[in-house]
Amino acid sequence: MPLTHVSLRAGKPEAYRQAIFDGLYRAMRETFNVPEDDQFMTITEHEAANFRYGATYFDVARSDDLVLIQLTVSNTRNLDQKRALFLRIVELLGQNPGIRPEDVFINLVEVVKENWSFGHGLAQYA
């Protein structure tokens, strides 16, 4: 049950943003065995003055098209699955909407399964 937050510079068209949602969901389905309809995602757009990044941190040449992706997930995936997810996201976002690999920044936040409530105030995994 990933909870996905995406941040990017303001000004991209709706089709661009929807392609990000579609690519992320497909990558999670293919590599993390995310169930059908398990889509809880937001995109937040930021004006230039409110979006700062290290343009060359870790020797990666980033541009103003940088997309910051944070996925909160249950701590049930192994390192191979995480690597596969990172690569698949980059591949799919490169295909559509055409984001360069250098401009895809991904962060996973892992939580224990009982830390989720999907509604009704219940801890469905507990």
Catalytic residues: 2
- C-alpha R_g of the chain: 15
Six-digit token string for 46? 């930021």
Q: How far apart are CA 32 and CA 29, in angstroms?
A: 6
CB atoms within 10 A of CB 12: 16
What sign does the dihedral 119-124-125-126 (CA atoms) show?
positive
Q: CB of 116 within 8 A of CB of 125?
A: yes
Write down the residue that tokens 């809880």 correspond to. 40
Six-digit token string for 94? 């490169």
